[in-house]
Amino acid sequence: MVLLLLMGTGLLAGSCGDGKQEVAPPLPVIQEMLEDTASAYYIDPLGYSQSMKMLPIGVIGNSADDLQVVETLLGLDEFDNITGKPGSDGIRDFAGEHFEFLCLPSFETLSREDMIRQIVRLFRQQDQRPPVKALVVAGDLVPPEVYDDLKDLIGMGNLGIITVSVIQAGNDKALEYVHKNNAGRDKRLTVGVIATDGAFSINAYDCLADVTQVVFQAYEDKETNSTEKAIRFAMTSLADKLPVNNQARMKYIVLGAHPLLQHRELIPELLTFLRNYRKDDRYVYRDLLDSDMILIEPQKEAGIQLYRAMREERLAAFRTTPSCVRVYEIEKPDLTKYPLLNVCINN
């Protein structure tokens, strides 16, 4: 009975912002999409045929930086593609898959309903673009409630579309680590989060603070005009925000800003530098930073969740032809940042 009471109050929840606390009726726009055949936003379930596994994977973003998520998916090799078990096999996990990247840079000006209308464009046939079999929410301006709305839409319409949120995947992994180390009650560990102002504006990572100590740092590269300099500044600023004589060393860092992965190798070097940095014959950060820091990459965690779900639902295409990426509603990106995407892109 105690266990049931705990489950009823949500105290055993292991995810962050995954699902509503109260069951609310679906938004009218969702009912319109599923029931009003005369609506311009109507989604025909028959558009998803038995050959659904051959449909592309949709990625929704709100800036060109979100292309890094596509780059991460293209390079992921965390599984044996024959058995589906964890472990690299030298073959990329999404080899042969097709991707549709839709960028909506005006997200911050959209209402909740309009966000849904724009995102579900990927769920409908449009000109030569087919509907998608999976949706990866890469943008950092999609609030958790909109992500829940999308899952409601897919479930009510029995569309069978797999949904993955990059932010949610990073939170899930951080919570998994925290709970594994029994830090949920005494807050003995600190989680650092480096993300964009947009992610913080929708309180994307606030739920981590419910279970452990969290330090937030915004990533900004406009003033530095250099990704490398921006990473150095963000890492140092994050360490400076740790309380002096902090008993909860920073053990994990969530790399929430997508450009961080473009110079991923810099981060361990910076952590080593900070731990060895001395001022006035004193180590400034050594007692604040764990010697065995764990970096959490939400983009990779989202790819892992997506691969497992596609295997479970038997939606992996397993094409022998190269992957293909199409990019919509964005100015021609700087493809030097994305070498894998540069090979696969087909506008």
pLDDT in tens, 133-182: 999 999 999 999 999 999 999 999 999 999 999 999 999 999 999 988 76
Shared domain for 159 and 306, answered yes or no, is: yes
Q: Let me know whether 256 and 325 are in one domain.
A: no
Q: Is residue 12 part of a domain?
A: no
- Residues 159 and 213 placed together within one structural domain of the fold: no
If asked whether residues 133 and 197 sit together in one domain, one would say no
Token reading at 49: 């045929």
State the DSSP string of 63-94: SGGGHHHHHHHHH---B-TTT--BS--SS-TT
Structural domain includes residue 10: no
Backbone phi and psi for residue 328, each to the nearest 5 degrees, phi listed first: -125, 145
Kindly give the residue spans of alpha helices, DSSP state H, lying in 105-183. 112-119, 144-156, 166-180
CATH assignment at residue 203:
3.40.50.1860
- Cα-based torsion angle of the residue sequence 219, 143, 193, 213 in order, rounded to the nearest 10 degrees: 140
For position 186, what pLDDT does the model report?
A: 55
Residues 107 and 42 in one domain: yes
Three-state DSSP at 230 gives helix
Separation between Cα atoms, residue 153 and residue 158, nearest integer Å: 8
Does 306 lie in the same domain as 285?
Answer: no
Model pLDDT, residue 75: 96
Q: Could you list the residue range(s) of the whole structural domain that residue 35 is in?
A: 22-166+300-344
Query: What pLDDT score does 155 carry?
Result: 93
Does 260 lie in the same domain as 148? no
- State the burial class of residue 278 (Cβ atoms within 10 Å of its Cβ: 0-12, 13-18, 19+): exposed
Tell whether 255 is covered by a domain.
Answer: yes
| pLDDT of the residue at 1 | 37
CA separation, residue 70 to residues 73, 190, 280, 297 (Å)? 5, 30, 45, 14
Enumerate the H helices of the chain as residue ranges: 2-9, 28-35, 67-75, 112-119, 144-156, 166-180, 197-201, 227-240, 266-276, 298-312, 339-344
Give the Cα separation of 13 and 7 in Å (integer). 8
| 245 lies in the same domain as 159 | no
What's the pLDDT score for residue 21?
55
Q: Which segments in the chain show pLDDT lower than 70?
A: 1-23, 47, 49-50, 182-187, 223-224, 246-247, 347
Inside any domain, residue 231: yes
Cα–Cα distance, 289 to 252 (Å, whole number)? 9
Q: Could you give the CA distance from residue 324 to residue 56 in angstroms, rounded to a whole number?
A: 9
Q: Is residue 4 part of a domain?
A: no
pLDDT of residue 4: 40
